Amino acid sequence: MKILVGISKAPDTTTKIKFTNDNKEFDESGVQFIVNPYDEWYALVRGIEIKEAQGGSVTTITVGKEDVDPIIRKALAVGADDAVRIDSEPKDAFHVASQIANYAKENDYDMVLLGKETINYNGSQVGGMVAEIMDLPYISNASKMDLDGNKATIVRDIQGGKETLEVETPFVLSAAKGMAEQRIPNMRGIMAARSKKLEVVEPVDAEELTEVVSYALPPEKGDVKLVDPENVEELVELLHKEAKVI
């Protein structure tokens, strides 16, 4: 089974977000970046599990400049066999999807796995775009996948329940919580990652279909009001008149 896994960088969840260039760009100075958790914990680990059970290979693919190489090495330490970096700034979702889809088409993968979204943008766009460009079936928000030969049985969460689908390879899938259990790289994996192949590939021409007008932080939280647990009437009044939730 030949598997391609999309990997992207995301700010550590403790990062204090700032913007620059008239609030049109994210200020990366002093920011600690990590592998996007949905990509690492669910898409990548499930790909590695499939390789371990059935044989094959797992390659990660990232769109970015050389500053993302440490992030890619972290993904290799988890257990991927090799990595590809498309040498281009990830300008928008369509640009990223175009780079991934072009490489995947040229290299004949059985499945393309991505996290359902990145934790910094929460767009959930790239997976569907990759599938459309490649003209392949797409399963989003998958929480479980079993394989029998080239047929996959996939469970995805839907409103009020779960949906079970069957699809034959090749296909594109976005992974959500439940797809796999997080793996922590051990020392052997970290050492091995240093020598694993990281291929840098020139980007293909692709349109930018969107542009950032501005970023803005959410409004600051207001002061907290403490209510005596014995004073239920005051609590009800505050919820009704101020919070307007009842």
The pLDDT of residue 170: 97
Per-residue pLDDT band for 62 (boundaries 50, 70, 90) equals very high
Q: State the CATH number of the domain containing residue 136.
A: 3.40.50.620
Check residue 31 and report its DSSP letter: P
CA distance 155 to 166: 9
The pLDDT of residue 28: 86
226 pLDDT above the threshold of 80: yes
User: Which pTM value belongs to this model?
Assistant: 0.86
The answer to whether 148 touches 163, Cβ cutoff 8 Å, is no
| 17, part of any domain | yes
Per-residue pLDDT band for 230 (boundaries 50, 70, 90) equals confident
| 181, part of any domain | yes
**Enclosing domain of residue 21:** 2-217
Question: CA torsion, points 208, 209, 213, 217, in degrees to nearest 10?
Answer: -90
The pLDDT of residue 239: 87
CA distance 123 to 39: 14
The answer to whether 7 touches 38, Cβ cutoff 8 Å, is no
Continuous segment of H or E residues that includes residue 141: strand 138-148
- Percent of the chain past pLDDT 90, that is, above it, reads 69
| 236, part of any domain | no
- Residue 43: exposed, middle, or buried by beta-carbon count in 10 A (0-12, 13-18, 19+)? buried
Per-residue pLDDT of 174-186, as tens digits, reads 999 999 988 888 8
| 241, part of any domain | no
Per-residue pLDDT of 128-168, as tens digits, reads 999 999 999 999 999 999 999 999 999 998 989 999 999 99
| 183, part of any domain | yes
The strand pair at 9-11 and 25-26 is best described as unpaired
| 71, part of any domain | yes
The pLDDT of residue 243: 79
| 233, part of any domain | no
Number of domains in the chain: 1
The pLDDT of residue 142: 96
222 pLDDT above the threshold of 80: no
Mean pLDDT of 227-240: 87
Identify the three-state secondary structure at position 45.
helix
Per-residue pLDDT band for 89 (boundaries 50, 70, 90) equals very high
| 228, part of any domain | no
Mean pLDDT of 200-223: 89
Per-residue pLDDT band for 208 (boundaries 50, 70, 90) equals confident
Continuous segment of H or E residues that includes residue 166: strand 161-168
Continuous segment of H or E residues that includes residue 193: helix 187-193
The pLDDT of residue 223: 79
Q: What is the mean pLDDT of the chain?
A: 93
The pLDDT of residue 77: 95
The strand pair at 151-158 and 138-148 is best described as antiparallel
Per-residue pLDDT band for 94 (boundaries 50, 70, 90) equals very high
Per-residue pLDDT of 15-58, as tens digits, reads 888 899 999 888 888 888 999 999 999 999 999 999 999 999 99
